[in-house]
Amino acid sequence: MTAFHVMTGAGEAYAHPAINKISIDDVFDALRRGLDDFREKPSHYVFLCLMYPIAGVFLAVATSSANLLPMIFPLISGFALIGPIAAIGLYEISKRREMGEDTSWRHAFDVRHSPALPSIIAGGLLLFAFFVVWLVAAQTLYTNLFGDVFPRSIDTFTAQIFGTPEGMQLMMWGNLLGLAFAVIVLATTLVTFPMLLDRDVGLVAAMSASIRATLTNPIPVLVWGFIIAALLVIGSIPLFAGLALVMPILGHATWHLYRKLIGPA
């Protein structure tokens, strides 16, 4: 039976793994390795990540016909905040390939047997809380600028955003607010979930290692964040279908970036 040890993992001692210093070349090498993992059996990985573009389309359709048009962008961009937990199965596939083991897609669900499952679930709930807070913050910003009446059509909403001073303020402050959320999530989850899958160290220790890795390698991590943002935008353009390719590549690359950032146990 899985022991419920979220704070410090299976052992009594608090884990304090060594942090490696990496370069920007290491970031791109991790991305190349992630692409190699994807090329190994791409049909399996597209299957695993199909839920992501489907959910993105659902969010867009569900809001475009209602009076929630101002929430489309926060929903789509905020959806990326929960990407680290969505890619948990891909870390397992990369780990198995690294060890020369079977990489069949069914092993992506082996996380359910992990002793760190409670920590992973707690981390997922934390990411979901970030997502909800981001949506509330985005809606609050909009209502402070435009009031409680939402536009009823896309044309009205577009004219409102690009044709008024309030719209310019919304884009400026909204992007700054989104950047703050993205930086917080990136710093706290950079290696959190790969580490929990690899070592049962507890959520707090994994998040601490992620923050230390970010502070030790600010420029490479910043570059990694820009890569994630750029690929998510590119993947979202063709009705989110590109995310079925982008997400698995980023998921696998995150595993290899974790290997570069964190020293051996």
List, in sequence order, the alpha helices (H) in the chain: 24-40, 42-49, 51-64, 72-79, 83-86, 88-98, 117-146, 154-162, 165-189, 192-198, 203-216, 218-236, 243-261
Residue for token digits 């890569």? 227
To 10 degrees, what angle do helices 42-49 and 24-40 make? 100
How many Å apart are CA 180 and CA 138, to the nearest integer? Answer: 12
Query: For residue 3, what pLDDT is reported?
Result: 45
Listed by start position, the domains of the chain span 24-261
**Residue 217 neighbours by CB under 8 Å, 6+ apart:** 19, 21, 22, 261
How many Å apart are CA 90 and CA 258, to the nearest integer? Answer: 13
- Intra-chain end-to-end CA distance of the chain, in Å: 24
pLDDT in tens, 25-79: 999 999 999 999 888 876 555 655 666 666 666 666 555 555 667 777 787 777 7
Whether the pLDDT of residue 165 is over 80: the answer is yes
Q: pTM for the complete prediction?
A: 0.81
Q: Is 19 helix (H, G, I), strand (E, B) or coil?
A: strand
Look at the alpha carbons of 48, 49, 50, 56 in this order and tell me if their dihedral is positive or negative: positive
Whether the pLDDT of residue 14 is over 90: the answer is no
Query: For residue 10, what pLDDT is reported?
Result: 56
DSSP state of 15: P
Give the pair of three-digit tokens for residue 69: 């048009």
How many Å apart are CA 82 and CA 222, to the nearest integer? Answer: 18
pLDDT in tens, 75-128: 777 777 887 887 888 888 888 888 888 777 777 777 777 788 888 889 989 998
